Amino acid sequence: MPSDTLPPPSPPAEILAGLRAMGLLPPGVAVQGEPLTGGVSSDIWRVTLPGRGEVCVKRALPKLKVAADWRAPVSRNLYEARWMRRAAAAAPGAVPALLGQDEATGALAMEWLPPAKNALWKSRLRDGHADPGFAAEVARRLARIHAATAADPTVAAEFPTDAIFHAIRLEPYLLAAARAHPDRAAALEALVATTAGTKRALVHGDVSPKNILDGPGGPVFLDAECAWWGDPAFDLAFCLNHLLLKCLWTPAVRAGFLACFDALASTYLAGVDWEPAAAIEARTAHLLPGLFLARVDGKSPVEYLTAERDKDRVRRVARALLAAPVERLGAVRAAWGEELER
């Protein structure tokens, strides 16, 4: 039979079971869907449901789809759903509408946001669209979520996820980089201790351009599988890190990426009201070089840095800043700018 006449595939049994448990799919009803690419931690499908139309369903995987042996509890989708509810209340429009979550199967359903109207920020950056105004709005919404949850410390009880955050963020990024750089291990291990021990707000854990849509109403955050009650500096550093790295991906737009870095940092810090802005800026400036190094020598290296020359530029700046930490984000940006001018 010619391939163009084959029917669309049916989602895996676990996803169908999750949809039925959520009350979104009647028993015995068959549905079709399309597997989506791009993520490493979940099976993600676009599914057409009777009477509802298209929805997005994801199911957490016990072993992530990377070269390293990287495992994480599948219960993380429960906490992603909880993060989505909290984020939607703090910053309406900043997340897709949550349709349901089934703890038994680890499946989560949300509204489908058509790519034609909701471009990935990562794709726009790759194509040279560096908009400081959009970066500022990302920061504004992120700070709003952090501020709202910091003001309600009872949120912490909903996120007993220290072990998950360690397994999916601290170990594969900072501790893996420490093993690759023994002479910087003490500094990286100290960052882990500080981050793990700082409990101030609800953290997304994966604020990356690949998880942010440029939608009609502004930035939309996706994939909060790492949701954790902890240090909001992690979210800020994680996102700023990508803006620095993309200077090597699309060199012609370096100035624009650095302008986005400035806009995101300054707008976020202006929204900090739960602690002195200088305190969270210092933690972010300390953490950023560790994450910078982790994206070339951790368990999840960025896929677009393949030349050793580029990796060595990241290593050179990150290692220097780990040896002599700075307190201001502008100093991290300046150190990277000097390297780019070499």
On whether both 229 and 333 belong to a single domain, the answer is yes
State the pLDDT at residue 84: 97
Residues 77-93, mean pLDDT to the nearest whole number: 96
State the pLDDT at residue 39: 56
Res 4 pLDDT > 60: no
| Residue numbers of the domain that contains 160 | 114-341
On whether both 183 and 238 belong to a single domain, the answer is yes
Res 210 pLDDT > 90: yes
- The helix (H) or strand (E) run that includes residue 229 is strand 228-230
Sign of the CA dihedral 226, 231, 233, 237? negative
Tell me if 190 is assigned to some domain. yes
Tell me if 159 is assigned to some domain. yes
On whether both 130 and 33 belong to a single domain, the answer is no
Tell me if 209 is assigned to some domain. yes
On whether both 243 and 124 belong to a single domain, the answer is yes
| pLDDT tens for each residue of 248-282 | 999 999 999 999 999 999 999 999 999 999 999 99
**Number of folded domains in the chain?**
2
- The helix (H) or strand (E) run that includes residue 336 is helix 329-341
For the domain that residue 176 is a member of, what is the CATH number?
A: 3.90.1200.10
pLDDT-above-90 percentage for the chain: 80
pLDDT band with cut points at 50, 70 and 90 for residue 11: confident
| pLDDT tens for each residue of 187-201 | 999 999 999 999 999
Tell me if 79 is assigned to some domain. no
On whether both 140 and 94 belong to a single domain, the answer is no
Contacts of 122 (CB under 8 A, 6+ apart): 208, 209, 210, 212, 242
On whether both 38 and 133 belong to a single domain, the answer is no
Tell me if 78 is assigned to some domain. no
State the pLDDT at residue 69: 43
Tell me if 61 is assigned to some domain. yes
DSSP SS3 for 32? strand
On whether both 45 and 185 belong to a single domain, the answer is no
The per-residue pLDDT of the chain, averaged, comes to: 92
DSSP SS3 for 281? helix
State the pLDDT at residue 2: 46
Q: Are 58 and 42 in contact (CB under 8 A)?
A: yes
State the pLDDT at residue 296: 97
The pTM assigned to this predicted structure is 0.92
State the pLDDT at residue 103: 87
On whether both 100 and 153 belong to a single domain, the answer is no
On whether both 251 and 107 belong to a single domain, the answer is no
| DSSP string across 159-176 | ---HHHHIIIIIIIIIIH
On whether both 186 and 118 belong to a single domain, the answer is yes
Query: What is the arrangement of strands in the sheet containing 107-111, beginning at the earlier edge strand?
Result: 32-35, 42-49, 53-60, 107-111, 98-102
On whether both 143 and 103 belong to a single domain, the answer is no
On whether both 123 and 221 belong to a single domain, the answer is yes
- The helix (H) or strand (E) run that includes residue 298 is none
